[in-house]
Structure 1
Amino acid sequence: MPDILPLPFKNRIRNLLHNSSAHPGLIFERYFPCWEGETKIEKAKPSSEAYKEFLNCYGKKKTKVEKLLKNINHRLNNLVNAYNGKELVFESVERIAIGLGIEHPTENGFLLDRTCGVPYIPGAAIKGVCRAYAKLLGKEAHITDLLGREEPSHQQGDIIFLPAYPEEVPGLILDVITNHHQDYYTREPQERKFRLDINKGNYPLPMDIEIPVPVFHLALKEGVKFYFRLISISGNQENLQRVGSLLAEALEYLKIGAKTSVGYGGMKIVSKRPEMAWEVEPVKGVIQTFISYSHEDKEKVLEFIATAAPYGVSPWRDEDGLMPHLGEELWEKIDQAIEKENVVAVSLFLSENSVASEEVLREIEFTHRLKKHIIPILLEKTEEVNSFLEKYLKLERGYYLRVEESLAPQKWADTLLNQARVKSATEVVFYLGHREAVISAKIPEKWQNMPAIVLRNSEYWLNPFGKEGQDWNPKSEEDYQKYEDGFRFLRVSLDGVKRLYLCGYTPLGIAGMIGKYWDRATGIKLITWNSYTGEEWSVGRTPPEGWVEEKSKHLQVLAEERLNKSEQIVICHFANNDRGKTQYKKALKWIEENLPVGKVFCFGYPAKITGEMAEEVAKECSGTFIWAKEKFLPEEIHWFSDLPMALMPLVTYLTRAVGKIIFYDEHKERHIYIKAFEKH
């Protein structure tokens, strides 16, 4: 609120405040004693005498605010206890300056609580120093589940940082910042009083003939104890331990407040130091969730699982490929499943059918005993379901999911990734099982010590009770868009990944999307698995050069067609053998009937590609787009290919800045091509 009182009245009110019970924060912020008399409009430069007058006033009021501070600490302590939070005590080992950047007549503000006038540390500042410390160590991905993510998704973290209040009303002291070169730091070079002749090329330098100008500010004395209070939204005690450990390190090494580089802001922990490390190790193996549901709700549950498949949600199934439901006599099998490390949470589907079952209470009790996470997913929100949440899922009731929410599948997947600590992983495996005819994910043995995310076709989960899988393919552009939405989500969620491993069996249109979202500009290393040769394939980040026929080692021009006068170009990559030539003829026929393109170029790649030559072949394939762009300047390039699945993402990984490329994937059963994705 702006100051509107005439100056004489302000001074009179100030004098009354100094003799009343008003708290120091009001006096410092609104009625700081820095005016000369009652008739002068221009305020005097705040001096040490003005500060001394305020400190004298603060000292007189110190006892008046002790009761208020005690009440604040009592209320915050009750809040922490009510939510099973954590309280840590730290003591300042150096002076602390909080809020020097706040606007104030002294030009150096200070942060005092508006309720009782005592200095405190805001929760945002505490959270900020924790994030800055993790970022400094290059381990910010380890704490996204705790602190959230600022960019690009603005994801909420699990931990609430309450403001830190002192144990007792602390003493304030007067400190000083002395600027020895004010002229040098505050004026433009040509305006400085003390400078060399800039016309001769001499840059102005700080001069020792300047007069030092002291600038006064307030600070907290060392030896002040603060209560730092934390609350976990999910009630996760491990998260509280981790943040406590992170906070202890951050306050010890980075300190808090202003002037930390010159001996301010240091703190040490007085209470028991958390023993758990804040860095986390990701779960190894395929990330799964145990599905708890009532048999009567099977159809609704399966539909929701299907919508979450592109985001990496993978339900646990037994050796027969079945998902047991409530009421089955499978408790030994269910208990063993929940105990597995890679089964990171129990997804509990709640309806009037399930809450009426006694079996669900047994699962909840067992899951809580194992300290596993429960994700309540509401199939319907009725009075019975709400009552069940309130009675048996007190910790989880605040963050349940509802199947009708549009973002529920993404939130479900994100919760599982958090519980598996995959977001802190630098190495992650994607198992692309969209065309796999088996239920269990086949991860190469050398990759089984890394977290693995299974990506399936949505329709795969609509028949999860059969022992045999099927060969499902995307049937439309909309189907491909579902999987692209999933990769877009994973690209944001897994921003700490440095090496991404791909295996499985999937349509080329889906494999190519991996290289689209994790291309060489991201700095990620992409490694694929060729199941036929049992080899790892990868490429470097060096940009490919434009393809040159005379220099080409692996690609040959198999065909060149002129269909019409259109400037649009088609690039084809097919195997240089009879099968590849037959595939090209099929593609050409479809192109002639469906695309208004001008020229078609078919490049033949070696029928047998080894690990030693994979990078060269990928670079030459990518180079054909550069060649086409430079030679024909097309508005867009249409792309058809039968590249090996292990090579396809490496080509899209390398391909950048060549304009718009549209890839068409073959639907083998229907003998048509479908637009799969665009890369710009």
Structure 2
Amino acid sequence: MQLMRNNLIPLFKQIKSANAGLLMQKGLKEWDTDSEKPTKKALIEKIAGAKADDLYLLAFNRWLNCTFDNDEFVHLSAKVNGRLFTGLALGGALETGAMIHHTYGMPMIAGSSIKGAVRAYAEYIFAKRKIVDNQEVIDYRIEIKQGKEIKHFQFDEDKQAILNVLFGTESDDDNAEAGYLIWHDAWWIPNVDKKGRLTQSNNCPFVGEIVTVHHQDYYQGKLDEALDIESPIPNQQIAMIGSFYFSIQGDKAWADYALDLLKGALQYQGLGAKGSNGYGYFDNIDGLESELKKRYNANKPVRDDIDPITAKIIQKARGISEKDLPLQLSKKKNGFFNDLELDKNNPDDCKKVAQVFIEEYSDIITQWADAPTGSNLATAYQFIEQYR
């Protein structure tokens, strides 16, 4: 059965880049009757080729600038350890989907999903325990509903109060509260080169995945037992890879506490679907912190009252990592000055460079004072002191 209008099919073939969310919703040309579903497979491959573009990079940097060095926010970065499924039910006719930013077509993790996952993790670690047969087990409250046994966590009053502040109260009446923190959507982190431009590789956040369904008749209620004679059914899905930037807004002390819970949830519980199969776990927690700080500094606006040459030096200096900082004033000094179109032998140019480094990195430069003679640190410190 054809799903796409005839006049759109040739246009679709000409597309070199497209919003991945639009492709998921509108890109399936026909309904596959073949069990292999070649049309679905081809579309998933096209979606997997979608890359971050300059518009998304601009939007991500804008969000980073708003949240990174803001006392109202706490944040962390984390890398998916394998693959992540979130938003599988959003694909419509494609029968698979992903949570995607509507405007930019890049992956995101909804703040509501993050909040729910962290709450589940917090409830598990806060739950009352009891000793049974010399083992500590969760002390559930048992409820019988429609003939089924339902287990509920129980909490001490102080733990319940913490849950209420972080996540709100669970109530159907008008007294329900949403909690005192804002759990923002997590943004996918685009990869950039040393000059802050998108790299040609490692900027495809989507990947095709095969999830094989076993015992389908049993789970559909057609059989009383799961039999190994049932044929497994491969199912094509869309997963996400890469790193995400998480941020929480609110009172600093409570937000910091929530951030610690988020770290635990990412590592030990995971996000999204199919966690029992190893999907949705994160590692390299805050591994991109120095890289994000470098990006933030490089994009931080310069005051309007600063002369153009000094402003250019500031932008250049803010894009340097702490590790590379002394090299720019020692073995890489020629290249640093050439990039800025300055003369390393001109005292005025050198003084402007030194003053910028002092204003931007005074705490770091102080640590260079006792560096061994002849080292890059010592050479850089000598340059700073000469033109201080």
Query: Are residues 1:263 and 2:258 paired?
Result: no
Supply the distance in 1 between the matched residues of 2:49 and 2:82 (Cα, whole angstroms): 25
1:145 paired residue number: 165
Supply the distance in 2 between the matched residues of 1:186 and 1:180 (Cα, whole angstroms): 11
Q: 1:16 to 1:83 in 2, by over 3 A?
A: farther
Instruction: Say which structure, 1 or 2, has more relative contact order (CA 8 Å, 6+ apart).
Output: 2
- What are the residue-to-residue correspondences of 1:525-674 with 2, within 5 Å? none
Q: 1:151 to 1:273 in 2, by over 3 A?
A: farther
- SS in structure 1 at match of 2:162: helix
2:236 paired residue number: 216
Of residues 92, 96, 101, the one that matches 2:84 is: 96
Q: 1:70 to 1:166 in 2, by over 3 A?
A: same
Q: Which moved more, 1:124-133 or 1:15-24?
A: 15-24
Of residues 102, 105, 121, the one that matches 1:117 is: 105
1:66 paired residue number: 53
What is the CA distance between 1:59 and its match in structure 2?
5.2
Q: 1:180 to 1:11 in 2, by over 3 A?
A: farther
Supply the distance in 2 between the matched residues of 1:28 and 1:103 (Cα, whole angstroms): 6
1:183 paired residue number: 217
Of residues 21, 25, 33, the one that matches 1:25 is: 21
CA contact (8 A) 2:27 2:43 kept: no
CA contact (8 A) 1:14 1:31 kept: no
Supply the distance in 2 between the matched residues of 1:250 and 1:161 (Cα, whole angstroms): 14
- What are the residue-to-residue correspondences of 1:302-381 with 2, within 5 Å? none
Supply the distance in 1 between the matched residues of 2:72 and 2:14 (Cα, whole angstroms): 43
Supply the distance in 1 between the matched residues of 2:232 and 2:3 (Cα, whole angstroms): 34
What is the CA distance between 1:249 and its match in structure 2?
0.8
CA contact (8 A) 2:111 2:183 kept: yes
- SS in structure 1 at match of 2:236: strand
1:238 paired residue number: 253
Q: Find the structure with the greater CA-based Rg.
A: 1
Q: Which moved more, 1:245-254 or 1:131-140?
A: 131-140
CA contact (8 A) 1:96 1:265 kept: yes
Of residues 38, 54, 57, the one that matches 1:49 is: 38
CA contact (8 A) 1:170 1:220 kept: no
2:379 paired residue number: none
CA contact (8 A) 2:20 2:105 kept: yes
Q: 1:132 to 1:262 in 2, by over 3 A?
A: same
- SS in structure 2 at match of 1:133: helix
1:174 paired residue number: 208
Q: 1:59 to 1:266 in 2, by over 3 A?
A: closer
Counterpart amino acid of 1:240? A
Supply the distance in 1 between the matched residues of 2:122 and 2:277 (Cα, whole angstroms): 22
Give the structure with the larger strand fraction. Answer: 1
Supply the distance in 1 between the matched residues of 2:91 and 2:228 (Cα, whole angstroms): 30
Query: Are residues 1:75 and 2:57 paired?
Result: no
- SS in structure 2 at match of 1:256: coil
Supply the distance in 2 between the matched residues of 1:265 and 1:240 (Cα, whole angstroms): 23
Supply the distance in 1 between the matched residues of 2:211 and 2:97 (Cα, whole angstroms): 13
Supply the distance in 2 between the matched residues of 1:150 and 1:211 (Cα, whole angstroms): 43
- What are the residue-to-residue correspondences of 1:5-24 with 2, within 5 Å? 7=2, 10-20=5-15, 21-24=17-20
What is the CA distance between 1:238 and its match in structure 2?
0.9
What is the CA distance between 1:108 and its match in structure 2?
2.7
Counterpart amino acid of 1:113? H
Counterpart amino acid of 2:227? M
Segments of 5+ residues of structure 1 without an aligned counterpart are: 1-5, 36-41, 193-203, 275-680
Considering only aligned residues, what root-mean-square deviation do their CA atoms show, in Å? 2.8
CA contact (8 A) 2:4 2:28 kept: no
2:93 paired residue number: 105
What is the CA distance between 1:161 and its match in structure 2?
1.2
Q: 1:11 to 1:243 in 2, by over 3 A?
A: farther
Counterpart amino acid of 2:14? N
What is the CA distance between 1:75 and its match in structure 2?
2.6
| Residue-by-residue CA offset, 1:8-65 (whole Å, 9 max, x unaligned) | 75254244134234312101112224x1xxxxxx653574533442244335542xx4
CA contact (8 A) 1:46 1:105 kept: no
